[in-house]
């Protein structure tokens, strides 16, 4: 199944007999809360989901956005009307990172039919709504394990035995700057693969052939053992989604650099080379 959906396809499905559940996951790192933007205008019928409160656990040793407790995540999804037998489409303001985090979590916990609106809200040609829906509670019951997940030790091992991609900006990978975490640099052995290079200027994903070519140049080809991390497991989910479009399954190191760098015992590499 294609993990993304175009605005025209979404409009057609929403007008059909089995419309998808719509989740609005607008969020920006260090930016204003997404709820006011949602209330000012959203896709008709969409329910707001808070990334910090519902798509992540409390920040701490596991990173800035550790995975949420599955039971708490399931309760949040049921409140939003998510059902196991109904498709789900998630979107954000256009960057795609937050929507990809919701996509990854739903897929990881076993939902079979989840897609991201390609280009986000900015791609939607229709009118927006200010009506806040009250959906009928869903029945989704999370069963973790639907997608591959790495912990810190697994990420370290994969950087040696397979391919570990760092989805952050290249300057953070090199350690030139580090605006958020304790120290700059990258997991030794990881290769730089900024998430921003997966999309065009309008936020839409590059065509599948272009993504396959990009990832193949990094060594990420079908059959390879591939993992991804970022700062806190958000933009990394977007890279996993891009790899899925390219036909390359990849694991997510959810704790990412915010977990790795918080432990002084873990090694840090700097500069443009993996080591």
Phi–psi pair at 176, nearest 5 degrees:
-65, -40
Helix 97-108 to helix 235-245 angle (10° resolution) is 70
- Tokens (6 digits) for 264: 């002084």
- Tokens (6 digits) for 46: 């969409």
Check if 230 is active-site.
Answer: yes
Closest CA to 143 of 194, 191, 71, 203: 71
Active-site option among 190, 230, 243, 251: 230
Number of helical (H) and strand (E) elements in the chain, helices listed first: 10, 10
Closest CA to 24 of 121, 108, 160: 121
123 SS3 class: helix
Closest CA to 191 of 222, 226, 224, 221: 226
Cβ atoms of 257 and 64 closer than 8 Å: no
Give the Cα separation of 58 and 46 in Å (integer).
Answer: 25
Burial string for 49-79 (b: 16+ CB within 10 Å, else e) reads: bbbeebbbbeeeebbbbbbbebeebbbbbbe
Q: According to DSSP H, which parts of the chain are helical?
A: 7-14, 34-40, 51-54, 70-79, 97-108, 152-161, 170-174, 208-218, 235-245, 256-260
Residues marked active site are found at: 230
């Amino acid at each position: 199944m294609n993990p993304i959906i175009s605005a025209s396809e979404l409009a057609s499905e929403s007008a059909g007999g089995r419309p998808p559940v719509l989740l609005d996951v607008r969020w920006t790192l260090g930016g204003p809360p997404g709820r006011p933007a949602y209330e000012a205008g959203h896709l008709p019928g969409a329910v707001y989901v808070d990334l910090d409160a519902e798509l992540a656990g409390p920040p701490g040793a596991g990173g800035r956005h550790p995975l949420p407790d599955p039971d708490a995540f399931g309760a949040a999804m049921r409140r939003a009307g998510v059902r196991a037998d109904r498709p789900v489409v998630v979107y954000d303001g256009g960057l795609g990172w937050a929507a990809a985090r919701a996509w990854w979590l739903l897929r990881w916990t076993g939902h079979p039919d989840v897609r991201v609106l390609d280009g986000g809200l900015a791609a939607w040609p229709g009118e927006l709504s200010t009506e806040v829906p009250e959906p009928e509670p869903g029945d989704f019951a999370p069963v973790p394990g639907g997608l591959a997940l790495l912990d810190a030790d697994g990420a370290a091992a994969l950087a040696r035995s397979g391919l570990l991609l760092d989805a952050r900006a290249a300057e953070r990978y090199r350690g030139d700057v580090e605006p958020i975490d304790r120290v700059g640099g990258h997991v030794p052995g990881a290769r730089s693969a900024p998430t921003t290079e997966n999309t065009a200027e309008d936020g839409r994903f590059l065509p599948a052939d272009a993504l396959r070519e990009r990832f193949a140049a990094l060594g990420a080809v079908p059959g390879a053992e591939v993992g991804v991390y970022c700062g806190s497991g958000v933009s990394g989910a977007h890279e996993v989604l891009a790899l899925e479009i390219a036909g390359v399954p990849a694991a997510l190191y959810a704790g990412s650099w915010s977990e790795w760098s918080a432990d002084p015992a873990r090694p840090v590499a700097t500069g443009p080379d993996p080591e």
